[in-house]
Amino acid sequence: MSANSTFIAKELSWLGEVMITRLKLYFKQPTDYNSIGEIEPQEAFGNSGNYENFIKESRLTIVDRICLILSLAPLLRPQIFDCFGIKNSDTGQRFVEFGCFYEKHSHVTVPTVETLLFILAGSDIEQRLHYICYFDSHFLFSQKMILKENISEGEWFFNSRLTPSPYMVANLIREREYQPEFSTRFPARRLTTLQEWSDLVLPPETLEQVNEIRLWAEHGNRMLAEWELSRKMRPGYKALFYGPPGTGKTLTASLLGKYTGKEVYCIDLSMVVSKYIGETEKNLSHIFDVAENRDWILFFDEGDALFGKRTQVKDAHDRYANQEVSYLLQRLEDYRGLVVLSTNFRSNIDEAFTRRFHSIIRFAIPDPEHREVLWKNTFSHKTELAPDIDLKETARRFELPGGSILNIVRYCSLMAIQQDTNIISYSNLENGIRKELLKEGKILN
**Residue 267 and residue 243 share a domain:** yes
Packing angle, helices 3-26 and 62-76, rounded to 10:
110
Handedness of CA 144, 145, 151, 155 (dihedral sign): negative
Domain-embedded: residue 179: no
pLDDT tier for residue 325 given thresholds of 50, 70 and 90:
low
User: Is the confidence at residue 14, as pLDDT, over 90?
Assistant: yes
Predicted pLDDT of residue 375: 96
Domain-embedded: residue 146: yes
Answer with the residue of higher pLDDT: 314 or 3.
3
Least confident of 60-74, 105-119, 245-259, 270-284: 270-284
Interior/surface letters 319-358, b for 16+ CB within 10 angstroms, e for the rest: ebbeebbeebbebbeebbbbbbbbbbeeeebbeebeeebb
Distance from C-alpha of 29 to C-alpha of 22, rounded to nearest angstrom: 10
Domain-embedded: residue 313: yes
Tell me the H-state helices in 227-263: 249-260
Nearest Cα to 75, choosing from 171, 164, 181, 177? 164
Predicted pLDDT of residue 298: 93
**Domain-terminating residue out of 322, 339, 362:** 362
pLDDT tier for residue 313 given thresholds of 50, 70 and 90:
very low
Percent of the chain having pLDDT more than 70? 91
Q: Which residues pair with 338 in a beta bridge?
A: 237, 297
46 φψ region: left (φ > 0), alpha (ψ -120 to 50), beta (else)? left
Q: How many domains does the chain have?
A: 3
> Contact at 8 Å (CB) between 299 and 340?
yes
**Residue 248 and residue 131 share a domain:** no
User: Is the confidence at residue 443, as pLDDT, over 90?
Assistant: no
For residue 304, which phi and psi values (nearest 5 degrees)? -65, -15
**Residue 351 and residue 222 share a domain:** yes
Q: What CATH number did the domain enclosing 407 receive?
A: 1.10.8.60
**Mean pLDDT throughout 349-376?**
90
**Residue 277 and residue 227 share a domain:** yes
Distance from C-alpha of 199 to C-alpha of 211, rounded to nearest angstrom: 14
**Mean pLDDT throughout 327-343?**
84
How many other C-beta atoms are found inside a 10 Å radius of the C-beta of residue 90? 6
**Residue 248 and residue 159 share a domain:** no
**Mean pLDDT throughout 307-320?**
52
Nearest Cα to 99, choosing from 124, 116, 121, 79? 116
**Mean pLDDT throughout 190-217?**
94
Domain-embedded: residue 181: no
* Most confident listed range (104-108, 140-144, 321-325): 140-144
**Residue 160 and residue 246 share a domain:** no
Percent of the chain having pLDDT more than 90? 59
Least confident of 81-90, 213-222, 231-240, 273-282: 273-282
Element (H, E) at 241: strand 237-242
How many other C-beta atoms are found inside a 10 Å radius of the C-beta of residue 246? 20
**Mean pLDDT throughout 31-39?**
95
In one letter, which amino acid is 397?
Answer: R
**Mean pLDDT throughout 20-43?**
95
Predicted pLDDT of residue 309: 61
Q: What CATH number did the domain enclosing 349 receive?
A: 3.40.50.300
User: Is the confidence at residue 311, as pLDDT, over 70?
Assistant: no
User: Is the confidence at residue 316, as pLDDT, over 70?
Assistant: no
User: Is the confidence at residue 392, as pLDDT, over 90?
Assistant: yes
User: Is the confidence at residue 68, as pLDDT, over 90?
Assistant: yes
Predicted pLDDT of residue 130: 96
How many other C-beta atoms are found inside a 10 Å radius of the C-beta of residue 133? 9
**Residue 53 and residue 110 share a domain:** yes
Domain-embedded: residue 427: yes
**Domain-terminating residue out of 173, 204, 232:** 173
Answer with the residue of higher pLDDT: 120 or 187.
120
**Residue 131 and residue 227 share a domain:** no
Give per-residue pLDDT as tens, 170-184. 999 988 888 888 877
Predicted pLDDT of residue 317: 47
Q: Which residue segment(s) compose the domain that 406 sits in?
A: 368-439
**Domain-terminating residue out of 336, 362, 388:** 362
> Contact at 8 Å (CB) between 258 and 217?
no
228 φψ region: left (φ > 0), alpha (ψ -120 to 50), beta (else)? left
Domain-embedded: residue 183: no
Give per-residue pLDDT as tens, 409-424. 999 999 999 999 999 9
Predicted pLDDT of residue 244: 92
**Residue 411 and residue 347 share a domain:** no
Nearest Cα to 102, choosing from 141, 65, 151, 149? 151
User: Is the confidence at residue 103, as pLDDT, over 80?
Assistant: no
**Residue 15 and residue 95 share a domain:** yes
Output DSSP code: residue 308. Answer: B
Give per-residue pLDDT as tens, 214-261. 999 999 888 988 888 888 888 889 999 999 999 999 999 999 999 999
User: Is the confidence at residue 353, as pLDDT, over 80?
Assistant: no
**Residue 416 and residue 297 share a domain:** no
**Residue 429 and residue 316 share a domain:** no
pLDDT tier for residue 86 given thresholds of 50, 70 and 90:
confident
Answer with the residue of higher pLDDT: 197 or 1.
197
**Mean pLDDT throughout 94-121?**
87
Element (H, E) at 328: helix 316-334
Predicted pLDDT of residue 52: 95
> Contact at 8 Å (CB) between 141 and 92?
no
Domain-embedded: residue 444: no
Domain-embedded: residue 335: yes
